[in-house]
Amino acid sequence: MEKESPLDIHAQLREVKRMLRGVMSGPVSASMREQGLGYKINFGVDQPRLLSLAREMEEFVTDAHSLALALWKEDIRECRLLACITMPVAEFAEDMAVEWVSQLRYAEEAQALAMHLLSKTPYAADMAFRLVAADVPLHRLLGWLTFGRLFAQKKAPAERDTDEILDHIITELHDAEAPMELRRTALNTLNKYMELGAREEAHGMRILNALQ
């Protein structure tokens, strides 16, 4: 029996959309639109289901890098999240990361980018430093999420970097104009930093006591 030819990128993209339509949730999609998620298309698929779909996609994906690039360009919530899930970390170059960061639209995208890609790259800490110093709140959110992931992996910063990270956390926590989600994420990152050891816990407690 003749083996089927592999699907090209456009056909693979169409197949992904077909799969998403098969598991879409109208009520969830409507709820997300009411919350301000202004995508052209939002299928209302939750992230655990997207992870399951990503595994199913492995059956027909021939070039994960190219497909992820195509998914990221779509004005479809699930496609952009799947781009973060399916992009091979080894092929996610720093200049590409910079481009994706500049195109971030919502916190959920920042969460997926930090979880599945950025925190796993060799340049994660360097980029996180730049992000937490950015003027754009969504970029700072990505920076704190990335640092939080690194700390959860027990990757402690060098002593010379610790002061800079803590200074940025203090600034974030004292910024009354910063979105609540951003300050909450910075605080969560501080808590993860404190779990690295006794020295880090002592540093964190001084900051927390000063907030009271």
pLDDT at 138 over 80: yes
What DSSP letter does each residue of 101-112 carry, written as one string? HHT--SHHHHHH
Tell me the domain boundaries of the chain.
1-87, 93-212
Radius of gyration of the chain (CA): 19
> Which position has the token pair 């009411």?
34
Summarised one tens digit per residue, pLDDT across range 3-39 is 455 678 999 999 999 999 999 888 888 888 888 888 9
| Whether the Cβ atoms of residue 54 and residue 86 lie closer than 8 Å to each other | yes
SS3 5: coil
Summarised one tens digit per residue, pLDDT across range 95-134 is 999 999 999 999 999 999 999 999 999 999 999 999 999 9
Partners of residue 112 on adjacent β-strands: none
CA dihedral over 171, 174, 180, 185, signed as positive or negative: positive
CA distance 86 to 67: 8
